[in-house]
Amino acid sequence: MSLRTTVLVAAVALVDDENRVLIAQRPEGKSMAGLWEFPGGKIEAGETPETALIRELKEELAIDVTEACLAPFTFASHIYEKFHLLMPLYVCRRWKGIPRPVEGQTLKWVRANRLVDFEMPPADIPLVAMLRDLL
C-alpha cells in the first residue's frame, strides 16, 4: 500500500430556520468541478478546524460565524487516489450576514432528505444520511 498525504479539511452544515442545509457547487477549474459540497476548506498550519471554518466562511460566503456556534457533528475519512481526506463536519445554525457566493460558486438551500439528489464528492456522501437523521 502506498503512503498518502493526509489532507485536513473542515466543513459545515449551515442550517437555516426552515431546517434546510446550504450546499455549494464546486466551480469550473477546481478539482471535482460541478459536484456539490458543504462549505469549508483546508485547515492551514497553526489553525484549528474551527478557526479554519470561521476564515473560510468569511472568504467564501461573506458571513461571520463565532466558534461557539460551531457544533462538532461527525467526520469523514476517505481515501482518494492521491491523498487521504480527514474532514470534521460541524453544524451551525447561527451566523451574521446572508450567505452569498463570493468565489463564483452556485449555492442552494436544500432539505436534508433531498441532499441525495445532488452529486457530491465521495467523502461527503456518508455525511448526507447522518444529517438527514439529525434534521
Per-residue pLDDT tens for 7-55? 999 999 999 999 999 999 998 888 888 999 999 999 999 999 999 999 9
Q: What are the distances in angstroms from CA 44 to CA 56, 79, 117, 127?
A: 11, 20, 32, 23
Superfamily holding 6-134? Nucleoside Triphosphate Pyrophosphohydrolase (3.90.79.10)
Annotated binding-site residues read 26, 37-40, 60
Annotated binding-site residues for 8-oxo-dGTP read 26, 37-40
Q: Is residue 2's pLDDT more than 80?
A: no
Domains in the chain: boundaries: 6-134
Are 23 and 56 a contacting pair, CB within 8 Å? no
Give the pTM.
0.94
Residue 84, sorted as left (phi over 0), alpha (psi -120 to 50) or beta, turns out to be beta
Q: Distance (Å, rounded) from C-alpha 11 to C-alpha 34?
A: 18
Per-residue pLDDT tens for 76-116? 999 999 999 999 999 999 999 999 999 889 999 999 999 99
Q: Distance (Å, rounded) from C-alpha 96 to C-alpha 117?
A: 29
Annotated binding-site residues for Mg(2+) read 40, 60
Per-residue pLDDT tens for 63-82? 999 999 999 999 999 999 99
